[in-house]
Each structure stands twice: as structure tokens, then as C-alpha cells.
Amino acid sequence: MGGALFRAIGALGEPPMRRVVALSLALAVLSFAMLWLAIAALLYHTSLFEWRVMNWLVDLLGGLAVLGLTWLLFPAVVTLIMSFYLERVAAAVEATDYPERGPPRSQPLGEIVAVTLRLTMLTLLLNLLALPIYLLFPGINIFFFLALNGYLFGRGYFEVVALRRLDAGEARAVRNRFAGRIFLGGVVIAGLFALPLVNLVAPVIATAFMLHIFEALPRAPGASLWPRP
């Protein structure tokens, strides 16, 4: 898995990826700024809690509260915004590292939207529900964040790359069979999103990383889930 991550990071400077990386940076910065403004407006102009003490605490924390929530929700939002460009990342990686692969299956637009929208909504909802744990249990909150988002991002980014080659039923079967490996890959992706500056290109690295994991999955004898030429 470490080799897959290093290959994904090393590919950022290769010619097929440079334009995608530049676009990723621009979209990520724009996403972060928009999310920051939206959360700031929500916190400063809305009473989110019935307890006055909680609203007073939010006002007191000010910029820290805005930054914390922006950081927490940024991975889901930027993944949704970049969903249509992650296909380019996967195609660039395949062209460089897996040229023997044939063209991917034609994905319906509805399938792409459904996958990324489901990932986004689940990530936003579950992380907001987990906010008390993040705030009240220092130390444990780090492991909880990695476990929760490791599952979500492992599943989400696996579907991004797997559905290029498999239909939904086949992708689900492969995901269930290699759930542990995909979860560990998701934990790595969650860690990337938690790192300053790295999180701006995390969707690109995550897609390339998960594609390498997918291509390295062993097949049972006679299996035809992802036939190779």
C-alpha cells in the first residue's frame, strides 16, 4: 500500500497530470473559500443552539470555529465539486501505468452523480453528528476521525475507480471481498485530507492511490471481475 501511495504522489509532476493538478488546486482553493464564507455566515447570523451558552461559545471561538468546521467539511465538498474531473485523473494514471488496459466502461451521468453525492451527504452528515466526539474527547477524536472517514473515503474513492471497469454489483462484490484493504486505503486518504496544503491536491492523490490499490487486488482462479487483456 505504501508503494501505491508513493506512485500516486510521484505522478503529480508527470505531464499527463500537471493540468489536472493545476485545475485541482484552483477548484480546491475556491471550494475552501466558499465553504469558509458559508460557514462564517451561518455561525455569525444564525442561532444554531437552543442554549445561549452554546451560541455564546460559538461567537467567542469566532474564527477558530469557522476554520475547524471548514477543515472538517472540506473533503466532502471538494470531492463533490471535483467529481467530474476525477475521471481525468484515473484516465491519466491508466495511460501512464496501465497502458494495456482497454477503454473504461461508459458510465451513465446519473451513476457518477449518485456515487459522489452519496459520499458527500454521508460524509457531511456523519461528521456533523460526530462533532461532539471531536470536541469533547481529545486524543480519541483523532482515531475516531480516521476510522469514520477512512470507511467513507475508502468506499467512495473505491467506487470512483472501480465503476470505470465494473458494474455496480461487481464493484460491491469486490469491495466486500477486500473490505479491510479498502478501509486502510481510506484511512490514508483521510490522513491526506487532514494535512494542510496537502489537502488541496488530496482528491487527485486519493484517486490515483485507490486506482493503484484496485489494480493490485488479486483475483481468485477463474474470476472475471476485472479481466485483463
- Segment 62-88, tens digit of pLDDT: 666 677 777 778 888 887 777 777 888
What span, in angstroms and rounded, lies between the C-alpha atoms of 109 and 51? 44
Do the domain assignments include residue 86?
A: yes
pLDDT of residue 65: 66
- Give the structural domain span for 67: 2-216
Q: What pTM was estimated for this model as a whole?
A: 0.82
CA angle 15, 21, 24 (to 5 degrees): 155
pLDDT of residue 75: 84
What residue has cell string 465503476?
A: 163
Do the domain assignments include residue 106?
A: yes
Do the domain assignments include residue 105?
A: yes
- What's CA 150's distance to the chain center, in Å? 9
pLDDT of residue 227: 45
pLDDT of residue 12: 87
Do the domain assignments include residue 228?
A: no
Do the domain assignments include residue 139?
A: yes
Amino acid at 82: M
pLDDT of residue 221: 46
- Segment 133-190, tens digit of pLDDT: 888 888 899 999 999 999 999 999 999 999 988 888 889 999 999 999 999 999 999 9
Report H helices in 98-178: 109-129, 131-136, 140-162, 168-177
Task: Of 8, 161, 153, give the one whose Cα is nearest residue 75.
Answer: 153
What span, in angstroms and rounded, lies between the C-alpha atoms of 17 and 91? 10
Do the domain assignments include residue 226?
A: no
Do the domain assignments include residue 221?
A: no
pLDDT of residue 63: 61
How many structural domains compose the chain? 1
The mean pLDDT value of the chain amounts to: 82
